[in-house]
């Protein structure tokens, strides 16, 4: 069986979340007291913990001052302290809050919101409100994911003919087999000479990589399951003919 060894594999692996790469120093966050007469919160939302922010280990509290009009809508949101890289997410979340309408003819008011970014991955990512004005935010646990298919076909492939049968090679998606592979006697020599582009399967080596989801305990295969290959129909027919003529002989 030929794996198109001269063709470079092209697998797509997408790293979604890693929490042990770089360490950033968290700037000092000033302690800012909040007024006892804070406006009542009607609707609130928490910022997302962006993946890239979690990767560089940015964390800590961000204090945002919001200005509120008479109808209870936020007219401005300005971060006052915390890690600068967390400012944008915090300000955007704070801008969407809604407060109780002003009483006794009051016009513009202001209050302080605290978003506490905690680098402790959560299974559901739900924010925790320690008070109506203090929210804890955690990154959601996301497994490192990989494509279930890798390609042995060059991205610039423009056509090629089988060196034995002269037919134009076709594309196919075949199973990747893992483990020790035993071939019949003289199989590899026959493959090279008579059916070099049968490519009915691909071989991925002895080790299959798995990852366990810490939230539900399920194991997920990270090693690719399929391979994109080039094949010749006449090579496959020749391979089947050779296999019938050469049954397994053991002992």
Question: What burial class does residue 199 get, using C-beta atoms within 10 Å of its C-beta: 0-12 exposed, 13-18 middle, 19+ buried?
Answer: buried
Answer yes or no: pTM beyond 0.85: no
CA atoms of 84 and 29, how far apart (whole Å) = 11
> Domain 41-137 is in which class?
alpha beta
Contacts of 117 (CB under 8 A, 6+ apart): 49, 53, 58, 59, 60, 61, 62, 83, 86, 137, 138
Neighbouring C-beta atoms of residue 64, cutoff 10 Å: 26
CA dihedral 85, 86, 90, 92 (to 10 degrees): 40
Contacts of 83 (CB under 8 A, 6+ apart): 24, 26, 27, 58, 59, 60, 62, 117
Per-domain boundaries in the chain: 41-137, 147-245
82: DSSP letter: S
Digit-by-digit pLDDT tens for the chain (251 residues) are 444 444 434 333 333 333 332 233 334 444 444 455 788 999 999 998 877 777 788 889 999 999 999 999 999 999 998 999 999 999 999 999 999 988 876 778 999 999 999 888 777 778 999 999 999 998 887 766 678 999 999 999 999 999 999 999 999 999 999 998 888 889 999 999 999 999 999 999 999 988 887 777 788 888 999 999 999 999 999 999 999 999 887 65
Alpha helical stretches, state H, 41-185: 51-55, 87-94
* Cα R_g (the chain), whole angstroms: 30
Give kind and range of the element (H or E) at residue 187. helix 187-194
**What does the buried/exposed string (b/e) look like for 125-146 if buried means 16 or more CB atoms within 10 Å of the residue's CB?**
eebeeeebbbbbbbbbeeeeeb
CA atoms of 96 and 215, how far apart (whole Å) = 31
């Amino acid at each position: 069986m030929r794996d198109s060894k001269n063709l470079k594999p092209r697998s797509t692996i997408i790293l979604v979340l890693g929490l042990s790469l770089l360490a950033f120093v968290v700037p000092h966050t000033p302690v800012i007291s909040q007024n006892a007469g804070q406006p009542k919160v009607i609707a609130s939302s928490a910022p997302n913990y962006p993946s890239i922010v979690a990767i560089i280990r940015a964390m800590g509290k961000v204090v945002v001052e919001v200005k509120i009009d008479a109808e209870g809508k936020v007219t401005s949101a300005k971060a006052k302290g915390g890690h600068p890289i967390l400012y944008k997410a915090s300000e955007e979340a704070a801008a969407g809050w809604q407060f109780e309408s002003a009483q006794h003819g009051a016009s513009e008011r202001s209050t302080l919101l605290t978003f506490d970014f905690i680098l402790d991955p959560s299974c559901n990512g739900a924010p925790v409100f320690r008070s109506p004005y203090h929210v804890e935010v955690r990154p959601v646990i996301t497994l490192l994911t990989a494509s279930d298919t890798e390609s042995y076909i060059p991205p610039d492939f423009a056509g090629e003919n089988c060196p034995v049968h002269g037919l134009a090679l076709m594309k196919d998606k075949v199973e990747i087999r893992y483990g020790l592979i035993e071939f019949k006697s003289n199989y590899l020599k026959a493959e090279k000479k008579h059916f070099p582009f049968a490519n009915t399967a691909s071989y991925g080596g002895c080790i299959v990589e798995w990852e366990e989801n810490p939230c539900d305990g399920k194991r997920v295969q990270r090693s690719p399951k399929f391979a994109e290959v080039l094949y010749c129909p006449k090579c496959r027919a020749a391979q089947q003919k050779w296999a019938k003529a050469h049954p397994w002989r053991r002992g």
